[in-house]
């Protein structure tokens, strides 16, 4: 792993545990076992690391979503595939996922606005999948935005409890969450 990758990896772990604001360059240097000044030969600033993590994760989410939307014949299948894609990205690197989901607020302009625009565009994909399902009679929801936000909110906490060596693997988590989010908790008569 290159020194730049080591710095990013270590910073991501610190951002997750301490938060972006509470993590100093000295903390990062100590965790890496190097002098703080030597970090600057690899990166410009702490925020550069945050930008790299947030926008790399956004790319991963969009790439996975694009693949999910290209598969499935029905809105239900496409939404299930989108949920699965989201879960797989979240569980691939839970530290980066946590930073992406919570620390983006510390991005300065223009990156903050760019990130929000990406987040809105991603959410719009979920709303469109739900709207298509409503229009063809597959879904019955009070509001597409509400439904999309409920689904994404339910998924975005996975990083807090997922364990790679836990009882369920990512594909099982995705399957169970898809079933629960798409079918609810009630037993069918």
Q: Is the peptide bond preceding residue 110 cis, with omega within 30 degrees of 0?
A: yes
36 has a pLDDT exceeding 90: no
User: Using CA of residue 103, residue 109, residue 113, residue 114, what is the dihedral sign?
Assistant: negative
CATH of range 46-183; options 1.10.3720.10, 1.10.1240.10, 1.10.357.10, 1.10.10.10: 1.10.357.10
Q: Which two tokens stand for residue 129?
A: 């999948």
Predicted local confidence at residue 1, as pLDDT? 77
What are the residue ranges of CATH 1.10.357.10 in the chain? 46-183
Q: At CA 132, angle to CA 130 and CA 133, rounded to 5?
A: 65
The whole-angstrom separation of Cα 189 and Cα 175 is 22
What are the residue ranges of CATH 1.10.10.60 in the chain? 1-43
The whole-angstrom separation of Cα 176 and Cα 157 is 15
**pTM assigned to the model:** 0.92
Predicted local confidence at residue 183, as pLDDT? 87
17 has a pLDDT exceeding 90: yes
187 has a pLDDT exceeding 70: no
1-43 — its CATH code?
A: 1.10.10.60
Which ranges in the chain belong to alpha helices (H)? 3-18, 25-32, 36-39, 46-69, 75-92, 94-102, 111-135, 144-155, 158-161, 170-183
Do 102 and 51 meet the contact criterion of CB atoms below 8 Å apart?
no
**pLDDT 10s digits, 145-168:** 999 999 999 999 999 999 999 999
Among 51-60, 110-119, 128-137, 179-188, the minimum mean pLDDT is found in 179-188
């Amino acid at each position: 792993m290159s020194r730049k990758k080591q710095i990013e990896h270590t910073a991501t772990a610190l951002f997750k545990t301490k938060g972006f604001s509470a993590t100093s360059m000295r903390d990062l240097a100590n965790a890496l076992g190097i002098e703080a000044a030597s970090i600057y030969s690899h990166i410009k600033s702490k925020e550069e690391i945050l930008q790299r993590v947030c926008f790399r994760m956004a790319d991963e989410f969009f790439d996975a979503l694009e693949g999910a939307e290209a598969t499935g014949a029905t809105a239900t299948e496409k939404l299930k595939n989108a949920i699965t894609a989201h879960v797989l990205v979240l569980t691939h690197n839970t530290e980066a996922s946590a930073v992406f989901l919570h620390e983006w607020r510390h991005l300065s302009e223009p990156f903050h606005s760019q990130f929000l625009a990406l987040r809105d565009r991603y959410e719009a994909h979920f709303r469109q999948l739900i709207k298509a399902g409503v229009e063809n009679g597959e879904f019955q929801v009070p509001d597409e935005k509400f439904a999309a936000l409920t689904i994404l909110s339910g998924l975005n906490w996975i990083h807090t409890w997922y364990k790679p060596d836990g009882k369920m693997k990512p594909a099982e988590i995705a399957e169970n969450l898809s079933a629960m989010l798409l079918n609810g908790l009630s037993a069918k008569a």
